[in-house]
Chain A
Amino acid sequence: MDKSITINGKQYAIDVDNDMPLLWFLRDRLEKTGTKFGCGAGLCGACTVHVDGVATRACITPVGMLADKVITTIEGLSEEGDHPLQKAWLNNNVPQCGYCQAGQIMNAASFLATNPTPSADEIDNAMQGNICRCGTYQRIKKAIGEAAFELAKEVS
């Protein structure tokens, strides 16, 4: 049996070169284009997905290493696009060009799962690897703060 990978709840055979980064497996093989190519070197965060819940740069992660792993991309973050972060992004009208925002949201989602009550500095540290060239950082920070508040309400 070929190696397989679970992406957004669905199983796929890893039928490409093991060295192919997950990013290109997603984009060119499966034609799931929500995960973006920004730098190809793990420098900008545009390609961030979750591997077993942990924010991971898909552009430098060989797909062959991910056999039996569970991957979540922006398309699978929530059923209805209603993750508290997605709602907070809409409330704050965060995106400008929007190209980096899938990576921003995925990175923030993984971060909030480990730190549900972050300080402003902790948000900065967690989001430092995600570049937004349009300059939406102020709104991203605000949206993460709001989403954390909502998530805390859901938990309690």
Chain B
Amino acid sequence: MSILDKLGNDKTLSSQIENVSRRNFIKASGVATGGLVLGIAIPSKAMAFGGESKAAFNPNAFIHLQENGDLLLYCGRCEMGQGISTALPAAVADEMEADWSRVTVEQGDADEKYGPQGTGGSASIRVMFEPMREAGAAAKIMLVAAAAKVWGISSEECEAKKHFVYNNATGKKLSFGQLASLAASQPIPEKPQLKQKSDYNYIGKALPRHDQSQVVVGQRIYGVDTKMPGLKYAAITHCPVLGGKLKSFDKTAAIAMKGVIDVIAIDPLALPFGSIGGVAVVADNTWTAQQALKQVKIEWDLGENVTYDTVAYKQQLVKNVENPAEIATERGDLKAAFANASQTLKATYTGGHLSHSPMEPNASVVFVEKDKCEVWAATQAPAAIQDVLGKYLKREPKDIIVHVTMAGGAFGRKFKCDYVHEAAVLSEKLGVPIQLTWSREEDMRTGYYHSISAQHIEASLDEQGAVTGWLHRTAFPPIGSLFNPATVKPSKGDVSAVDNYPFGLPNFRSEIGEAKAHTRIGWYRAVYAIFYGFSFSSFADELAYKAGKDPLTFLHQLYDANNIDEQKEQVSRSKNALEIAAKQSGWYERDNLPKGQGIGLAVHYSFQSYVAMAVRVESDGENIKVLQVDCVIDCGQVLNKDGATAQMEGAVVMGMSLALSTEITFREGAVVNSNFHNYPVMRTSDMPHVNVHIVESEHKPTGLGEPGVAPFAPALSNAVFAASGKRYRDIPFKPMSV
């Protein structure tokens, strides 16, 4: 099974509770399409029989109830600030009728028993909401059965409430702790009944994060924080150009420094998530390692990507999309639409590479011993670490013990584990535990970058100003290039979001332009939705002005023109989110805004969720001050309202950084940016007032971590145009020259 498969395909995920064995058991099997069929089986008593838990009641991998009533809940998905280690345990606690104040949350190590742990694609709640609820509901049923047994009555005559089970007839109660041991021997329910929405205690409320009190006193442990006896510290520098090789290095001066233990070359690992190769110094402390690394004289053979220059490359991409390219999808008769057009419009949108730059740079601790390998790391993909280290060390992946720490931000970067592989190389060579901490400069220069991109759209309008034809050409080095270096352009799957955009576009053609990758491309929060959202929502706004229509009315008409049955829901939910954003932002009263202010709208469907934004700016076309953002999210049922609000606030800030200022520039094959002075992310004075509006919904929960990013840049672009008449089509709008 490939690493990609381990992302998990929730479409095929089924969850059932069955007593298949006396051990916790997760069955995962790859299927021909590359998807993942996964059945989560949560057998009762498993751990108790396996002797792996001291808990009195341990009905499945997630729940450990002590006889004193303390409840330990495990989170299998990785926590990087998105709040998943609160949200999922809260779902368990809710169905279990547990008292949240008695809950402690632990992060699960890499283990199949937790289900798919690869945390990306805004999928955690989508994938795990029901299994977590079922895990909690099963435990509750067993606790109730235990109480019924004590009282010699039926379960129907009992009720669980806030860590107790009550005898409905007598009012007597037994605590969960008192019942724990007896519950462990109760039969496992086949298909536990889940609660009605109206009965939720925690789900759908604004729940504080479980770990905040640790954070504010500096006690939360991140990947960079692991300490242990005998630990040695490493710093690393990488080949600046992808595909380059180490020619030679002279370690004389470095090794002579006090506290330096060794200087070690790390070979590239021919795996997409492994190291690209570099030179590392191991020392008594990180600072000494960093200083000594500067003394190592290194010569690189830079290889063919040394010609990579993002300014020239972007121009090439523009050419590639402004000329005919490979046809991906065609509907209707585009040629006739243009032949009969009353007006036509075309525009090209571009965007640069982005570095995730989480505040915690890549870091890990690895201890490779003869018969044991242990890892402590912030990661989004524990199984990928097992895969990569298993291959490197020629051991079984399951024998690689991965302790998942809190991640100090990740945004897609920590799905890759080059920084863990490198620590493993050093530990294996030196026989000691190694803490490797990348410098900020290495983190910024050795990334898996968001794609540089160009998109060209041409549209035809009829006499009424309705869109009759839409040609959409796109070119960007795709993530697929990471897995198959022969890739020279996006796949049809990569452009499916263009083909299925929920506007009504009966005469439509999408085309794919060439875009060979010259650096590693990776998932960056919101991924391709960043440039798809930008091009669709910007161009729709441009078309509205061309047609002489109000932008909101024009957008509604574009959606209303969609008569594809399967997209009815997308149309109505997009329109609803858009309308709320417009109303909340003062769109209808925008004529009253002071001169120089404007409001821009955008809505984008991604990760199965709908986010609309109304951005109000003050701008003369050159200076841009974002004043207010009204953000509307429709992601179905919301598990934690405060968490959802926080995700939207954060998405606005990340959207602002990428729309206004952040861009990774390559020159002579290497990244020019080095630290936050020339990769200027948003700071506090840039922060607009953000209002988050959550759509009440009965739909199943969908993505939340990423969908908020995409609509910001186009809404901002549209706002600046409304305020000043200046149209920005290249993100970031205000790149710093580096």
CB B241 to nearest CB in A, in angstroms, measures: 23
Residues of B with C-beta under 8 A to A94: 212
Those of B275-314 within 8 Å (CB) of chain A: 284-288, 290
Q: 15 more A-B contacts (CB under 8 A) besides A37-B437, A131-B359, A134-B359? A: A24-B286, A28-B286, A33-B224, A34-B219, A36-B360, A38-B361, A39-B440, A43-B675, A81-B216, A94-B212, A125-B685, A133-B359, A134-B81, A135-B654, A137-B686
Residues of B with C-beta under 8 A to A132: 359, 653, 684
Residues of A with C-beta under 8 A to B208: 90, 93
CB B82 to nearest CB in A, in angstroms, measures: 7
Those of B339-371 within 8 Å (CB) of chain A: 357-361
How long is the Cα–Cα vector from A137 to B258 in the complex, in angstroms? 42
Q: Residues of B with Cβ closer than 8 Å to A?
A: 80-83, 208-209, 211-213, 215-222, 224-225, 227, 233, 258, 284-288, 290, 357-361, 406-411, 437, 439-441, 642, 646, 649-654, 675-677, 681-687, 689-690
Q: Contact between A95 and B216 (Cβ–Cβ < 8 Å)?
A: yes
Q: Contact between B440 and A41 (Cβ–Cβ < 8 Å)?
A: yes
How long is the Cα–Cα vector from A37 to B408 in the complex, in angstroms? 11
Residues of B with C-beta under 8 A to A33: 218, 221-222, 224-225, 227
Residues of A with C-beta under 8 A to B80: 97
Partner of B218, one of A17, A102, A125: A102
Residues of A with C-beta under 8 A to B407: 97
Q: Contact between A137 and B437 (Cβ–Cβ < 8 Å)?
A: no
Q: Contact between B676 and A43 (Cβ–Cβ < 8 Å)?
A: yes
Q: Contact between B216 and A101 (Cβ–Cβ < 8 Å)?
A: yes
Interface 1/0s, chain A 36-50, versus B by CB < 8 A? 111111011010000
Q: Contact between B677 and A135 (Cβ–Cβ < 8 Å)?
A: no
Residues of B with C-beta under 8 A to A97: 80-81, 358-360, 406-410
Answer yes or no: A21 CB below 8 A from chain B CBs.
yes
Q: Contact between A95 and B408 (Cβ–Cβ < 8 Å)?
A: no
Residues of B with C-beta under 8 A to A38: 359-361, 440
Those of A3-47 within 8 Å (CB) of chain B: 16-17, 20-21, 24, 27-29, 31, 33-41, 43-44, 46
A-B contact pairs, 27 of them (CB 8 A): A20-B285, A20-B288, A29-B285, A33-B222, A33-B227, A37-B224, A40-B290, A44-B676, A73-B218, A74-B216, A75-B217, A77-B217, A93-B642, A95-B216, A97-B406, A99-B409, A124-B685, A128-B684, A131-B676, A132-B653, A134-B81, A135-B649, A137-B653, A137-B682, A137-B684, A138-B649, A138-B690
Interface 1/0s, chain A 63-80, versus B by CB < 8 A? 000000000011101000
Answer yes or no: A140 CB below 8 A from chain B CBs.
yes
How long is the Cα–Cα vector from A24 to B359 in the complex, in angstroms? 17
Q: Contact between A24 and B287 (Cβ–Cβ < 8 Å)?
A: yes
Those of A121-153 within 8 Å (CB) of chain B: 123-125, 127-141
Interface 1/0s, chain A 89-114, versus B by CB < 8 A? 11001111111111001000000000
Least CB separation from A87: chain B residue: B216
Q: Contact between A138 and B689 (Cβ–Cβ < 8 Å)?
A: yes
How long is the Cα–Cα vector from A77 to B217 in the complex, in angstroms? 8
